Chains A and B, each alone.
Chain A
Amino acid sequence: LAKTTQPISMDSYEGQEVNITCSHNNIATNDYITWYQQFPSQGPRFIIQGYKTKVTNEVASLFIPADRKSSTLSLPRVSLSDTAVYYCLVGAMDSSYKLIFGSGTRLLVRP
């Protein structure tokens, strides 16, 4: 399974755009990139998933360069409620049930 590297923590302010980058240098051809969000005392929640280029949904955007060795989760105009831990996972489609979560990125949004 591809190993991922993310910043341990990030700070931002309300209304700003936040970009969290994940490195996955040994990503395999059939691997997808998935991001989860976890609030304190809750289980992780799926945010977005992609294979290449750009994916956008109502919550976030995911940018994946052509070499796929990294990916960037973009959260537009964050609010205090976006304070959470964000996890980047890499694995083959339909393998999420056995993926291992890293330590994630702890995002703190300040007023």
Chain B
Amino acid sequence: NAGVTQTPKFQVLKTGQSMTLQCAQDMNHEYMSWYRQDPGMGLRLIHYSVGAGITDQGEVPNGYNVSRSTTEDFPLRLLSAAPSQTSVYFCASKDSGLEIDTQYFGPGTRLTVL
């Protein structure tokens, strides 16, 4: 299994541009989440999904949209990029009904907005 994959690894945008960060998992996990991590800070939850067709907002959802049309994919869309969205973005997934409740994280996308 490839686990959780994210593309691209790096991206530079200009203010006002839009883009989609891709996240895919091949573990058939129901739950998926998007986090952002600013330099020297912890992770903040943006959006999450408990299954295909179901999404909900996390701590910092403004400026981001998500959709979950399949179990495998959970893209994050930046509507109009702002310098404040410069960050590293992590996608994570987890299964349900296990004895250990753990998330599996992707390698991250480093985004710079100029």
| A interface list, Cβ under 8 A from B | 32, 34, 41-46, 49, 87, 93-104
Cβ-defined contact, A100 with B48, below 8 A: no
Q: How many residues of B contact A (CB 8 A)?
A: 30
Distance of A94 Cα from B107 Cα, bound (Å):
23
Closest A residue, CB atoms, query B50:
A97
Which residues from chain A contact B92 at a C-beta distance below 8 Å?
43, 97
Which residues from chain B contact A93 at a C-beta distance below 8 Å?
101
Q: Which of A43, A93, A100 has the most CB of B within 10 A?
A: A43
| Shortest distance from the beta carbon of B2 to any chain A beta carbon, whole Å | 14
Which residues from chain A contact B31 at a C-beta distance below 8 Å?
97
Cβ-defined contact, A87 with B42, below 8 A: yes
Known: A42-B107, A43-B106, A43-B107. A100 touches B44 (CB 8 A): yes
Distance of A100 Cα from B105 Cα, bound (Å):
14
Cβ-defined contact, B102 with A34, below 8 A: yes
Cβ-defined contact, B42 with A94, below 8 A: no
Secondary structure of the A contact surface, majority rule: loop
| Shortest distance from the beta carbon of A3 to any chain B beta carbon, whole Å | 13
Cβ-defined contact, B48 with A98, below 8 A: yes
Known: A43-B90, A98-B58. A103 touches B42 (CB 8 A): yes
Cβ-defined contact, B59 with A95, below 8 A: no
Closest A residue, CB atoms, query B108:
A43
| Shortest distance from the beta carbon of B105 to any chain A beta carbon, whole Å | 3
